[in-house]
Structures are given as structure tokens and as C-alpha cells.
Amino acid sequence: MLTLKKIIAELDLIAKALTKRGYKEDDIKNILHDLISHDNKRKSNQQINDDLKSKIREYSGQIGQLYKEGKQDEASSLKNEVGEIKERIKSYDENDKNLKTKIDNILLSLPNAPHDSVPHGKSEDDNEVIQNWEKPFPNLGSSALPHWELAKKYNIIDFELGAFITGSGFPLFRNKGSKLKRALINFFLDEAEKAGYEEIRPPLMVNEASALATGQLPDKEGQMYHMEKDNLYLIPTGEVPITNIFRNIVLKESDFPLKVTAYTPCFRREAGSYGSDVKGLNRVHQFDKVEIVQISHPDDSYKLLDQMVKHVEELLIKLELPYRILRLCGGDLGFTSALTYDFEVFSAGQKKWLEVSSVSNFEAFQTNRLKLRYKDDKGKTHLAHTLNGSALALARIVAAILENNQTPEGIKMPKVLKKYLNFEIIN
């Protein structure tokens, strides 16, 4: 979340930045002014409370001395006054607690301030295409099939059986479809390892503190699968458990950058989706993904963001998939992100673009919740920056591979996957 210190120091800049997310400048300024007002009241209360506690310590010493001198009435009177002061302290403590709750609630409700380069806009229609595919698109003619028909034709994905076992949005991969998924996971992990990422295998469920620390709560509560009895959440992305490895840690500057990758299944309700957008693998409730996460020095985070974007781009080039890169506008930007680049691949059977990756810089938004800090060479403590990216999400990558590589003989596999597969074509 945004820090109170930053809001106080840069109120006008933050208010202006948040207008990119749809806030009216006067409205957000009123919210920020209320926040600062609550903080000023809390500080004033704290000062009064500290003075009262100091007075109790002073009076306590005097009471003991008065008893020693036999001045019982004076000691009793002072003792009564101490009792009254303690009641006042209780009142101030309660007031402090209420003010802190108000401050925390406002801070938790505020999204990250968008980076200067984030364009204004209300929805995905206003995202900025910063790199477009300039080569010819796959020309498959009128006989091209969407991936859900190819899946049935070659018996590689069974959507009906997955729905029977669990429900809609839980596809069952089989035969060469299952092998293709495994090959892609290994390819993505091997590429991440070459790029210097440490591979881990995290838990697939997280507690409330972890979901709060990375910003899924309270923003995306309705999108996550919640096990109420245990108060645990199925992860919507590997970012959540990976980033929480570093919760409540103080790093050294020499530790940066920390680079971690993981393959995980991911689980999302995807409420409100409908129509062709949810058909086949376009939008599912369970999907596989390889995630890359970096913990960075603040001075380096945007340079590292560019490196992560390049890493994802190289994956798509090696898979020979037509792609484009978009800079998300303020209205489509995730709650925790300061700047996000989306990658989309062209799916020839549907003749549409499918999002396959988001690469984001969260700056200090997550680390403030995580209490993830570092000490500089002078021993002063600062918040680190966090970044993450999908490298890559498999469901739509599989869809694009199936659709773009279909031929009358079968579906040809990308050359880069040859060493991971014992076949070159699905037929």
C-alpha cells in the first residue's frame, strides 16, 4: 500500500496520478486530506497520552514519599488523581485505536499511484499498443478450426469430462495435450533458470496475511477460492507465495536483485465472464503458469522491468507466436501495479488476440505491506521494490499453438519444444 509518509510529502502528485484510475482529483484529495487529518489527531492524542503517562510516573514517586512522611491524606488525594489520569489514558488509547483503524482502512483501500508513463483511459480499449506484430499472420484459410474443436478432433483436451468431474472452466488434458503442457512448463522453467532465477515449488494455498501482503486482499477477495474452515486461499497466481518468502525481512543492498521463479497451478473464479471469451481455454478457473519475481533496489526497478519484458518477448519469439505488447491504461491497471505491460498472442483459429502475460512493477506498494526493507551503506532502512511477470501462462499459449500450427496433416509443434517432446506433430 502507499505509505503515509509518501502521501504527506507528495499529496498533489499522488492525487493527480490517481485520476488515471478514474478518481476525480477533488474527491481523491478529500480522501487523502481525511487520512492526514486522522494521522494528525492520532499524533496529538499520542503526545497527550505520553504526557499523562509521564505524570503518572511522577505522581507514583511522590505518593510513596508522602506515605513515608505520614501524609496519608495527601497521598490518598494524589492516588485518586492518578486513578482519574488512568481513566483518561484508557479513553485516549481507545481513541488512538479507532483512528489507527480509520487510517489503515483508507490506506488499504487506495490503489497504487500509476507511473508517469501510464496513459489515461477507462478500460482495455484504451490500452496503448507499444509494439505490434509486423510480420504476416498465419494464413490458414476458411478451414481453420478453433482450439476447442482441434482438442476434440485429436483427443488432447476434454472440456466436457473436466466439467463433469469438477465444473465448467476445469479442462482435462490428455495424451499429447498433457505432454505439450509438461513440455511448455519445463521450457519456461529452463529459460528462467538461464536468466538467473532460482526455482522453487511453493504451497498452493496461502493464509490471509499472505494474500493481504501482496494486495489480493481486500481487492480481489471475490476472485479467489476461499476455504472458510481453515481460512486459506487457493493461489490466483504464483506471485503470492513467491513474494511472501520475503515478508518481514531486512536485506542488504548487496542482496539485490533477488530473482525467483516457480511453476504452479493457479485458481481464479473469473466471475462475470461470458460469451466467446470463456470458450475452451480462453478463460478457465484452473490453469498452469510459470511466474518470475524480482526483489529490487528502488533505483533499478524500471531497468529490471524492461529486462523482464524482454525475457517474456524472447519466449514468444522462440515459440514462433505472433505477439504484441501493450502498456495498460490507468483504468485497466491492476490495484497493486504502478506500471504493467501485457503480452497478447494472435490466435489464428479465432482470429483474435489472447492475453498470455502481464509484467508489472509494484514499486514499494507491496513491500510496505510485506515490511520488506533493506539497509543502505549508512545503516538507514528503506522499502525495496517488487516486480513480477507471467513467463508464461499456459492455457492461452496452448490455444495459440494449436490454432496457429494446424495443418491438414495435424498440428505441428514449435521447434524449440523438440527436446522436450517425443513427437513433432499431433495427429
Neighbours of 222 (CB within 10 A): 10
- Chain mean pLDDT for the chain: 95
- What pLDDT does 139 receive? 84
Note every long-range contact of 224-230, with CB atoms under 8 Å and residues 24 or more positions apart, other chains counting: 224/267, 224/268, 224/269, 225/267, 225/269
Question: CA-based angle 261:265:266, to the nearest 5?
Answer: 95
> Do residue 49 and residue 143 come from a single domain?
no
Distances from the Cα of 6 to the Cαs of 11, 14, 56, 316, in angstroms? 8, 9, 36, 38
In a domain? residue 320? yes
In a domain? residue 309? yes
Contact 330, 21 (CB under 8 A): yes
Task: Name the band, by pLDDT with cuts 50, 70 and 90, for residue 274.
Answer: low
Contact 225, 235 (CB under 8 A): no
Percent residues over pLDDT 70 in the chain? 99
Task: Name the band, by pLDDT with cuts 50, 70 and 90, for residue 67.
Answer: confident
What is the tens place of the pLDDT at every residue in 104-126?
999 999 999 999 999 999 999 99
Q: What average pLDDT does range 162-188 have in this prediction?
A: 98
> Do residue 77 and residue 217 come from a single domain?
no
**147 pLDDT exceeds 60?**
yes
- Give dist(CA 188, CA 18) in Å, integer: 35
Backbone angles phi, psi at 5, to 5 degrees: -60, -45
Q: What average pLDDT does range 55-84 have in this prediction?
A: 86
**184 pLDDT exceeds 70?**
yes
Distances from the Cα of 305 to the Cαs of 60, 83, 294, 295, in angstroms? 59, 59, 9, 11
> Do residue 307 and residue 215 come from a single domain?
yes
Q: E strand or H helix at 85, and its extent? A: helix 72-109
> Do residue 85 and residue 157 come from a single domain?
no
Task: Name the band, by pLDDT with cuts 50, 70 and 90, for residue 17.
Answer: very high
- Give dist(CA 267, CA 280) in Å, integer: 16
> Do residue 39 and residue 152 come from a single domain?
no
Strand partners, 233: 206, 226
- What pLDDT does 299 receive? 98
What is the tens place of the pLDDT at every residue in 218-264?
888 889 999 999 999 999 999 999 999 999 999 999 999 999 999 99
> Do residue 384 and residue 237 come from a single domain?
yes
> Do residue 383 and residue 239 come from a single domain?
yes
**271 pLDDT exceeds 80?**
no
Closest CA to 290 of 239, 216, 220: 239
- What pLDDT does 259 receive? 98
In a domain? residue 66? yes
**201 pLDDT exceeds 90?**
yes
CATH number, domain of 38, equals: 1.10.287
Backbone angles phi, psi at 132, to 5 degrees: -115, 155
- What pLDDT does 276 receive? 59
- What pLDDT does 273 receive? 56
CATH number, domain of 131, equals: 3.30.930.10
Contact 282, 168 (CB under 8 A): no
- What pLDDT does 275 receive? 58
- Give dist(CA 344, CA 325) in Å, integer: 7
- Give dist(CA 329, CA 20) in Å, integer: 8
Which residue segment(s) compose the domain that 102 sits in? 4-109
Question: Domains in the chain: how many in total?
Answer: 2
> Do residue 234 and residue 315 come from a single domain?
yes
